[in-house]
Amino acid sequence: MATDKTFYLETFGCQMNAHDSEKVIGTLRQQGYRQVESEEDAGLILYNTCSIRDKAEQKVFHRLNDYKKLHKEGKRFGVLGCVAQQEGEKIFERAPFVSLVSGSASYRKLPEMLTRLEAGESHITGLDDRQTDETFETEFTARQNPYRGYITIIEGCDKFCSYCVVPYTRGKERSRASSSVLKEARRIADLGYTEIQLLGQNVNSYRDPEGKCSFAELLAAVGEAPGIRRVRFMTSHPRDFTRDIVEAIDRVPALCDHIHLPVQSGSARVLGRMAREYTPEWYLERIGWIKATRRKISISTDIIVGFPGESAQDFIQTMDLLAEVEYDCVFAFKYSARPNTPALSMVDTVPEAEKTTRLQALLERQREIQRINYSKQIGEIVEVMVEGVNPARGQIAGRSSQNKPVNFVWTQPIAPAPGSYVRVKITGAYPNSLLGQAV
Ligand code: SAH
Ligand code: SF4
Ligand code: F3S
């Protein structure tokens, strides 16, 4: 029944979306709702959506179609997140049984929107046209990850890369007050978390509305919070990447040895057309800072292959950059034309088959780079945070500070508990994980 205060929520997309869902769940519970595990059992069915690439968005409409029959039983549907903001009221045309459409920049109004839904309103929208200055903060966050506590420090994006929907779907860039971030960090530590991840489309574009600290200073302050042993942050934009970030990592032990710095392309010409506003040289200078630290910082990146106008020569430059940086992890995507973006009007010159060929060549090359990188760690001792135990294989799984998966054997009678830290000697390596023995 629609009056049942039960909800089902499914999340697509990035870590920002996953954490938004933790906040949405907390907000719903605060309004008297109870979460259930399946669409069939829920009075309210919510999808927190992503539209970064085309398939992500199709998935949502397929899913809505799969379950629309439940509408006849009185169940209500809501679409949240990036597809909601992007498609807006058009969702009501394509899926008239949907009652609620809200982008992330309007989640502050969720309690009010829920009240209207309960009163029987059928087409409720929370859509923001890059107007709001508000951030979505709540003390009721329903944290789903038992070991890693997420904190959003900046929402939205003002960069307008020519291929990307995010500035349109998440609103304008707005940072959270540093005092509020630090308060949440302490609250998370009090809950027993030892690892924090700071989140934002571009975390390092952070500007404290209170004017108290820079991103690097905020990072250091979170790293110095009592009880916190690991701090991660995602994603950094090369344009706002300053030297004090690597200095902070070198100085504050709790800051993890890992930086994700998306490059997108190794060609200056393609980067220009992407409106990234840096050159490969500028990017490599920042990589140089990271490599010059005392600590060995692992570097990962995002790449787009087959951007409109990417020539074979441009692609070779991307391959050369991979070889030069020697990343520990690469997320590579075929370019996908997105609504409202400037790149949509560029002629998409790279045929789909060629995009696939380039993507495969890149992934193969990267696998070889990782195989070499990871095997260099054999013999090292690393600290691993335990995430799970696989008794069948007699193995324990966890992650190093560099964010690499480490599986290790344990010879003592009592296995270490998830969330604990163990020193592990690396005895073997694969392109995506390490093998070891507890010491
Ligand atoms: N703010 C981050 C990226 C967030 S989106 C940054 O600028 O670095 C995550 C990744 O999705 C991007 O780094 C990019 O590689 C990829 N992406 C974004 N739009 C895309 C598109 N239209 N086609 C293919 N990949 C895309
Ligand atoms: Fe998208 Fe560019 Fe903003 Fe990243 S910086 S979210 S790629 S517009
Ligand atoms: Fe997708 Fe929106 Fe994140 S488009 S990747 S959910 S910011």
Number of CB atoms found within 10 A of residue 218's CB:
24
Q: Is 302 in the pocket of ligand 1 (CB under 6 A)?
A: yes
Residues with CB under 6 A from ligand 2: 157, 159-161, 164, 166-167, 201-202, 237
Alpha-carbon gap, residue 215 to 203, rounded angstroms: 8
Q: Is 359 in the pocket of ligand 1 (CB under 6 A)?
A: no
Rounded to 5 degrees, φ, ψ at 341 are -85, 150
Residue nearest to atom 1 of ligand 3 (CA): 50
Question: At CA 31, angle to CA 29 and CA 32, rounded to 5?
Answer: 65
- CA–centroid distance, 164 to ligand 1, in Å, is 6
CA dihedral 279, 324, 299, 164 (to 10 degrees): 40
221-239 burial: b if 16+ Cβ within 10 Å, else e:
bbbebeebbbbbbbbbbbe
Tokens 């995602």 found at: 234
Q: Is 52 in the pocket of ligand 1 (CB under 6 A)?
A: yes
Alpha-carbon gap, residue 202 to 160, rounded angstroms: 12
List, for residues 219-268, the tens digit of each pLDDT value.
999 999 999 999 999 999 999 999 999 999 999 999 999 999 999 999 99
| 408 sits in which H/E element | strand 405-409
- CA–centroid distance, 272 to ligand 3, in Å, is 23
- CA–centroid distance, 82 to ligand 3, in Å, is 6
Question: Looking at residue 1, what is its pLDDT?
Answer: 42
Q: Is 278 in the pocket of ligand 1 (CB under 6 A)?
A: no
Residue nearest to atom 1 of ligand 2 (CA): 164
Question: Looking at residue 15, what is its pLDDT?
Answer: 96
* Predicted model pTM: 0.96
Sequential pLDDT tens for the chain (439 residues): 445 799 999 999 999 999 999 999 999 999 999 999 999 999 999 999 999 998 777 889 999 999 989 988 899 999 999 999 999 999 999 999 999 999 999 999 999 999 999 999 999 999 998 999 999 999 999 999 999 999 999 999 999 999 999 999 999 999 999 999 999 999 999 999 999 999 999 999 999 999 999 999 999 999 999 999 999 999 999 999 999 999 999 999 999 999 999 999 999 999 999 999 999 999 999 999 999 999 999 999 999 999 999 999 999 999 999 999 999 999 999 999 999 999 999 998 899 999 999 999 999 999 999 999 999 999 999 999 999 987 777 799 999 999 999 999 988 888 899 999 999 999 999 999 999 999 9
**Closest ligand 3 atom to 56 CA:** 1
Residue nearest to atom 2 of ligand 2 (CA): 161
Question: Looking at residue 57, what is its pLDDT?
Answer: 77
Pocket test for ligand 1, best of 51, 52, 307, 350 (most atoms within 8 A of CB): 52
Question: Looking at residue 107, what is its pLDDT?
Answer: 97
- CA–centroid distance, 52 to ligand 1, in Å, is 7
Residue 30 token pair: 């605060």
**CA neighbor of 49 nearest in space, from 81, 23, 77:** 81
- CA–centroid distance, 434 to ligand 1, in Å, is 28
Q: Is 304 in the pocket of ligand 1 (CB under 6 A)?
A: yes
Tokens 């009007």 found at: 345
Residue nearest to atom 24 of ligand 1 (CA): 335
Residue 259 token pair: 């930086």
Q: Residue 208 contacts by C-beta under 8 Å, 6 or more apart in sequence?
A: 175, 177, 178, 214, 218
- CA–centroid distance, 266 to ligand 3, in Å, is 24
Residue nearest to atom 4 of ligand 2 (CA): 201
Domains and CATH numbers, the chain: 6-126 (3.40.50.12160), 148-375 (3.80.30.20), 381-438 (2.40.50.140)
Question: Looking at residue 54, what is its pLDDT?
Answer: 84
Q: Residue 101 contacts by C-beta under 8 Å, 6 or more apart in sequence?
A: 78, 79, 84, 87, 88, 89, 91, 92, 123, 124, 125, 126, 127
